[in-house]
């Protein structure tokens, strides 16, 4: 099945940001029929190692994909070797940083095998009004995102990770080809003051803007009933794709 034609449930990515493996196992058991992908981030990968991916694949029984969010960022040769090792684990999606240009992307893609490579454009927690040493024309998130997206896609990456606020422009500029993954998703019922994500959108807004997959963590993980929360998100996705 084309990843662009996934069912509403399959579009939901849940990050396994938990303090220990037993907590992870519990979340997977509860949610493996409610989400499309489980995301393994740095915290879990560092604490549990590559076994996290292998054990997660066994726990899901094929009901959900594995998204390895390592944001690989180094010289192209190092990233290529790391991606070759990652591909052997069987992860479906892996992230690399787009900020170091097309050489890094090309090396990752060459070594990725069947694993899809996603380039992270601009972190959704980043406020570009801070002085990052950028040329003035790239101090707006959209301008910087589009620059990095163009370079990454030209280098052969399969998709992009970007804010829902930039997803529509990327979809319009590059068509239906690239997979678009949007983090920083907050359902309207979960918005709180002091959130560390700066450029948030709702599930409906992200899907309507062209996102294929949306990443929803805390609103589900911290809910009294995570299954109910996940289903509410899926219902919102469903209304946006019908």
Catalytic residues: 71
Q: How many CB atoms lie within 10 A of CB 180?
A: 27
Q: Which of 49, 67, 92, 51 is nearest to 217 (CA)?
A: 67
Q: Are strands 65-72 and 116-120 parallel, antiparallel or unpaired?
A: unpaired
> Taken in order 177, 102, 149, 235, is the CA torsion positive or negative?
positive
3-state secondary structure of 53: helix
Find the helix or strand (DSSP H, E) in which 84 lies.
helix 76-87
CA distance 70 to 62: 22
> At CA 223, angle to CA 219 and CA 224, rounded to 5?
175
Q: How many CB atoms lie within 10 A of CB 191?
A: 11
SS3 content of the chain, % helix, strand, coil (to 5): 45, 15, 35
């Amino acid at each position: 099945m084309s990843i662009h034609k996934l069912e509403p449930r399959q579009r939901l990515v849940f990050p396994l940001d938990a303090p220990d493996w037993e907590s992870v196992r519990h979340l997977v058991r509860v949610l493996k029929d409610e989400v499309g992908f489980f995301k393994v981030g740095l915290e879990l990968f560092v604490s549990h190692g590559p076994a996290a991916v292998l054990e997660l694949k066994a726990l899901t029984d094929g009901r959900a994909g594995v998204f390895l969010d390592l944001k690989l960022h180094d010289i192209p040769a190092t990233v290529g070797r790391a991606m070759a090792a990652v591909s052997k684990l069987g992860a479906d999606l892996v992230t690399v940083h787009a900020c170091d240009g097309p050489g890094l992307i090309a090396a990752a893609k060459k070594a990725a095998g069947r694993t899809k490579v996603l380039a992270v454009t601009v972190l959704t927690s980043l406020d570009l009004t801070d002085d990052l040493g950028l040329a003035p024309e790239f101090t707006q998130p959209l301008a910087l995102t589009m620059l990095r997206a163009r370079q990454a896609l030209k280098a052969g990456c399969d998709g992009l990770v970007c804010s829902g606020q930039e997803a529509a422009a990327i979809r319009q500029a590059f068509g239906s080809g690239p997979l678009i993954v949007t983090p920083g998703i907050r359902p309207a019922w979960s918005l709180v003051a002091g959130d560390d994500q700066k450029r948030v959108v709702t599930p409906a807004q992200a899907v309507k803007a062209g996102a294929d997959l949306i990443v929803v963590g805390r609103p589900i993980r911290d809910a009294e009933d995570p299954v109910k929360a996940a289903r509410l998100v899926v219902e919102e996705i469903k209304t946006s794709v019908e």
